[in-house]
């Protein structure tokens, strides 16, 4: 029981009777995990999170498959969710966006303005895949001739404002600032897919999202995550040679996750976007990370809620 209480305290959960007093006043910043898995059908939804501001879900970070179902299970409302942060445009991070937008539309008849942030595109060619910019992606989905054009006024008037972020920017910069909420971004590195790392700051608390990132993106991650209260790091591969060689050009192994988290002074670490191998070998993954990182670290689960 003492161990459990210690873990709850370390992760910001309200202990014992003190929770009743805290329940009247929601946390300034809170994370809800809608999806903690990857592209495989392993029983988890793919990457998706909600950031709650003063108890209200305001920001959607990625929209992987299954997030729609997990949203219903969490009994959270999207009625005031108007900011979307896409780390990159792989299907397991963006495929659920139409369903979640429709869920938002039917929750209120009032006009909705979505601010959608994500990477700019890549031209493809020379062995690299083509990726549209976020603005083009949004137009293909919700534009006048988009696949889901009907959603524009299906249940509520919807306006989508896309914002392309240069996926080569090496220094973090604020991309949104309103009423004390600040969102910063910097380019990540995920093979040939343009990718963005995000940090959310509000009321003295912060959460940083790595997105899918290979070792080439770690210097930028260290800069944006310095001193962050919670780092959500995608954990797909085992330490070499435990995973397929090609995966190391796309993802960061556990020992490097621990090193960068310690170097950045991260207060706590949440491992998400889990693959079957990292889930099956969770103890070994955490042990490798703890060789360098001294803060609390744990694996994510769908439905998990944390206060950084």
Domain boundaries, the chain: 27-306
Q: Pick the more confident residue, 16 or 185.
A: 185
What is the percent of the chain with per-residue pLDDT over 90, rounded to a whole number? 71
Contact 274, 44 (CB under 8 A): yes
List, for residues 153-189, the tens digit of each pLDDT value.
Answer: 888 888 999 999 987 778 899 999 999 999 999 999 8
Half-sphere exposure of 225 (CA within 13 A, CB side): 31
pLDDT band of 82, cuts 50, 70, 90 = very high
Classify 83 as helix, strand or coil.
strand
The arrangement of strands across the sheet holding 181-187 comes to: 173-178, 181-187, 196-202, 205-209, 230-234, 269-272, 297-299
What is the percent of the chain with per-residue pLDDT over 70, rounded to a whole number? 91
pLDDT band of 302, cuts 50, 70, 90 = very high
Residue with tokens 């137009």: 139
In angstroms, rounded to a whole number, what is the distance separating the alpha carbons of residues 264 and 42? Answer: 32
Q: Which pLDDT does position 142 carry in this prediction?
A: 94
List, for residues 45-66, the tens digit of each pLDDT value.
Answer: 999 999 999 999 999 999 999 9
**DSSP assignment letter at 190:** B
pLDDT at residue 12 greater than cutoff 50: no
If you average pLDDT over every residue of the chain, what do you get?
89
pLDDT band of 245, cuts 50, 70, 90 = confident
- pTM of the model as a whole: 0.89
> How far, in Å, are 9, 192, 194 from residue 121 at the CA level?
42, 10, 7
List, for residues 18-47, the tens digit of each pLDDT value.
Answer: 444 445 688 999 999 999 998 888 889 999
Q: Which pLDDT does position 120 carry in this prediction?
A: 93
Q: Which pLDDT does position 176 carry in this prediction?
A: 96
Q: Which CATH superfamily is 27-306 part of? A: Ribonuclease Z/Hydroxyacylglutathione hydrolase-like (3.60.15.10)
């Amino acid at each position: 029981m003492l161990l459990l209480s210690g873990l709850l305290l370390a992760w910001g959960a309200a202990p014992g009777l003190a929770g009743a007093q805290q329940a009247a006043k929601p946390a300034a910043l809170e994370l809800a995990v809608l999806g903690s898995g990857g592209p495989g059908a392993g029983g988890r939804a793919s990457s998706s999170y909600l950031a709650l501001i003063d108890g209200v879900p305001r920001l959607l970070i990625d929209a992987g498959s299954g997030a729609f179902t997990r949203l219903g299970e969490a009994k959270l409302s999207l009625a005031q969710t108007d900011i979307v942060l896409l780390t990159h445009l792989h299907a397991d991070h963006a495929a659920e966006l139409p369903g979640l937008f429709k869920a938002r539309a039917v929750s209120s008849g009032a006009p909705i303005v979505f601010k959608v942030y994500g990477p700019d595109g890549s031209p493809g060619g020379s062995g690299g895949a083509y990726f549209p910019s976020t603005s083009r992606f949004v137009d293909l989905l919700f534009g006048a001739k988009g696949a889901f054009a009907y959603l524009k006024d299906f249940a509520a008037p919807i306006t989508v404002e896309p914002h392309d972020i240069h996926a080569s920017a090496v220094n973090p910069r604020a991309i949104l600032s309103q009423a004390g909420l600040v969102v910063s971004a910097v380019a990540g590195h995920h093979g040939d897919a343009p990718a963005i790392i995000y940090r959310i700051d509000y009321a003295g608390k912060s959460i940083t999202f790595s997105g899918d990132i290979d070792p080439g993106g770690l210097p930028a991650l260290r800069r944006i995550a310095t001193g962050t209260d919670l780092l959500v790091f995608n954990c797909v591969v085992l330490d070499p040679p435990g995973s397929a060689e090609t995966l190391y050009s796309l993802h960061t192994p556990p020992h490097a996750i621990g090193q960068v988290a310690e170097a950045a002074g991260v207060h706590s670490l949440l491992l998400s976007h889990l693959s079957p191998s990292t889930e099956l070998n969770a103890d070994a993954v955490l042990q490798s990370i703890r060789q360098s990182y001294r803060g609390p670290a744990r694996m994510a689960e769908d439905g998990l809620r944390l206060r950084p």
